[in-house]
Chain A
Amino acid sequence: SQQGEEDPQALSIQEGENATMNCSYKTSINNLQWYRQNSGRGLVHLILIRSNEREKHSGRLRVTLDTSKKSSSLLITASRAADTASYFCATGGMDSSYKLIFGSGTRLLVRP
C-alpha cells in the first residue's frame, strides 16, 4: 500500500522559477528519498535524507524533513525545461527489508 501523499499532484511553472513539492507519510521511517521519473521510463535517485537529518542540499535540490509532522519537501531552484518529469518521495522503514514505499507523485511541467 502507498505510504503517503504528495502535493500538488501537478505543478506547472515557468523556466527559472522554483518548484516546491511536498510529501506526507504515515509511519516511522529510517530515511526518505526522492526519485525522478521521466515519462515511461525508470526512476532516478535524486537525494536521500535520514530520519535524524532536517535538511539536505544537492546542486539545485533542497530537501527538508520534519519527522514530527511526518512530512518532507523537495525544492528545485531555478528550474529548467529539462526538469519536467514526475517526482516521487519514497520512505524506507525501520525494519531490515530495505523496502521503499512510494508516495503518489507530483507531475512537474516546466514551460520554456
Chain B
Amino acid sequence: GAVVSQHPSWVICKSGTSVKIECRSLDFQATTMFWYRQFPKQSLMLMATSNEGSKATYEQGVEKDKFLINHASLTLSTLTVTSAHPEDSSFYICSARKPGLAGETQYFGPGTRLLVL
C-alpha cells in the first residue's frame, strides 16, 4: 500500500497566527513530498517540492518565508503557514512519491482545510 496522512484535517485560526500542517507517509519512505493548494472548484496548484534533508524548491510566485516547509525525515514533511491571513484560507494537500521505477505516481493525503478569520 501507499498511505499518506495529513494532520490536522481542518483548522480555524485567527489572522496573524501560524499554522503547521503535517504530512506523513505511513507505510513507505518518501524521499520527495509535494505541497499543493486548491481553491474551491479549482485545480491543484503546486506550491513546492520537499526533499528529505534539503531545502524545499518553491514554485514561482510562492513566498518561501510565508510557507515554510521542513522535510526532516523520510516519512514526514511539514508546511507552516506563517502569520496567516484570510487570503491564505484554502485546501492544502500533500503528496508523496515512492522512490524507484514506479516513482512517477504520487500518493495524496486527504487534505487540510484552513480557515483564517
Contacts and interface: CB of A to CB of B under 8 A. Distances in A.
Contact of A40 (B4, B91, B97, B105): B91
Given A98-B32, A99-B49, A42 B108 contact: yes
B117 to A, nearest CB: 20
Contact of B43 (A44, A45, A105): A105
A112 to B, nearest CB: 23
Main SS of the interface on chain B?
Answer: strand
A25 interface: no
A24 interface: no
A43 B46 contact: no
Contacts of A72: none
A104 interface: yes
A101 interface: yes
Contacts of A88: 43-44
A56 B62 CA distance: 36
What's the interface size class on B, roughly? 20 to 34
Interface of B: 4, 6, 32, 34, 36, 41-46, 49, 57, 60, 91, 93, 95, 97, 103-111, 113
Given A41-B111, A45-B108, 18 more contacts: A1-B60, A2-B43, A33-B104, A35-B108, A40-B91, A40-B111, A41-B110, A42-B110, A43-B93, A43-B106, A48-B105, A92-B104, A98-B103, A100-B46, A102-B36, A102-B43, A102-B46, A103-B43
Q: Which 10 A-B pairs have the closest CB atoms?
A: A42-B108, A43-B108, A42-B110, A102-B44, A102-B43, A104-B43, A92-B104, A105-B43, A42-B111, A45-B105
Interface of A: 1-2, 30-31, 33, 35, 40-45, 48, 88, 92, 97-105, 107
